[in-house]
Amino acid sequence: MRIVVAPDSFKGSLSAVGVALAMERGIRLVFPEADVRRVPIADGGEGTVAALVGATGGTLRQTRVNGPLRAPVLAQWGILGDGTTAVVEMAAASGLPLLAPGQRDPRLTTTFGTGELIRAALDCGLRRIIIGIGGSATNDGGAGMARALGASFTDEAGTELPEGGAALARLQRIGLDSLDPRLQETEILVACDVDNPLCGPRGASAAFAPQKGASAATVAELDAALGHYADCAHRATGRNVAGLPGAGAAGGLGAGLLLFTPATLRRGVDIVLDAVGFEEIVSGADFVITGEGRTDFQTAFGKAPVGVAQRARRFAVPVFCISGGLGEGADDVLALGIDATISICERPLPLDECMRNAGPLIEAATARLCRIIRASRRGCAIR
């Protein structure tokens, strides 16, 4: 029997690697001789580097960069097992968890450190870069990222603007003469799991800035600044990307990558599954177990478990999703290739207890699932 274990992380509790190990332990309780293939995955957010490096036998690197408010941080990135592809998480350099709640201010935060990670990959001679852009603390349209790679952003007096989204309201000129020429020799794949445009009611500011510390007034200020920035960038680059799906991802970093690099935006889980060779792994499997911290209506919009299920469906392989919790709309995934959803909680438990004991709970839920599968294969009543 071959079983593929392909979970996302349970955020705040276990990494995707930790979840996969817990699932394997649960499988071994019921099917001790099974051939278990662990493929921890991610959809572009936190854990993308670890999932890809682990699945491909790559190596981890660390680079000191500027954090969201320019304080230095040690950011982890990786080189995949092919030795030619870098994987970078913007969250490691420009992410919301790097700031205390009182420090969060999307008027001031910058993607500069993300640009420094891209530059570190280029300095290593890598010309294929996967960039996960989930979990940002920023709303600067990727201007900070571009500045780290050599672009300039000046006001009417020719003075370089300060970092952050609010300053873009004063932008008059974008200078590209010093933009790193190596970018044009580089394939850049952006793992993006949202389709928001840069501006407007569904734009970067309206959709995401409130969770980064923005008031209603600040949202309006930032949205206007990004609109002005988009017009200036269109003139400077000839590219009009503001209305493209995903341009508003990560506070507009999606737009910045489209403007200043030869980037392609794709659904994050698809990039990850391609990179790890998932279709070859799943072909011929008896079933797949995926999972995430919470399954609800958002999962249906292309999150990791649905991406796994859609690939497995091509080979008629059943998929089961084990989740930390099942929320409103969880059943929506049943029409998208997931055969059943299972909560790790057999009884009501406080959230902190669930998170603290995620490993044993995942193991137990996996064992319960496997017992049901074993009974159904025997054709006997399930007890």
Whether residues 209 and 341 share a domain: the answer is no
**pTM for the structure as a whole:** 0.86
Of 244, 269, 294, the one marking the end of a domain is 269
Nearest CA among 374, 344, 341, 340 for reference residue 360:
344
Question: How does residue 379 score in pLDDT terms, banded at 50, 70 and 90?
Answer: low
* Lookup: tokens for 253: 């970093």
Cα–Cα dist 324/13, whole Å: 10
Among 7-16, 85-94, 267-276, the range of highest mean pLDDT? 85-94
pLDDT at 382: 42
In a domain, residue 356? The reply is yes
- Rounded to 5 degrees, φ, ψ at 287 are -165, 165
Strands (E), the chain: 2-5, 35-38, 59-66, 72-79, 85-89, 128-132, 152-154, 173-175, 187-192, 263-267, 287-292, 319-323, 340-343
Whether residues 221 and 334 share a domain: the answer is no
The CATH number of whichever domain residue 329 belongs to comes to 3.40.50.10350
201-256 pLDDT, tens digit per residue, is 999 999 999 999 999 999 999 999 999 999 999 999 999 999 999 999 999 999 99
Whether residues 248 and 141 share a domain: the answer is yes
Question: How does residue 383 score in pLDDT terms, banded at 50, 70 and 90?
Answer: very low
Cα–Cα dist 78/216, whole Å: 38
Whether residues 363 and 341 share a domain: the answer is yes
28-47 pLDDT, tens digit per residue, is 999 999 999 999 988 787 88
286, 3 contact by CB (below 8 A): yes
Whether residues 68 and 200 share a domain: the answer is yes
How many structural domains are present in the chain?
Answer: 2
318-366 pLDDT, tens digit per residue, is 999 999 988 888 898 999 999 999 999 877 777 777 788 889 999 999 9
Of 251, 269, 287, the one marking the end of a domain is 269
Which one-letter DSSP state was computed for residue 128?
E
For residue 16, the enclosing domain spans: 2-41+276-378
Question: How does residue 266 score in pLDDT terms, banded at 50, 70 and 90?
Answer: very high
Whether residues 82 and 188 share a domain: the answer is yes
The CATH number of whichever domain residue 200 belongs to comes to 3.90.1510.10
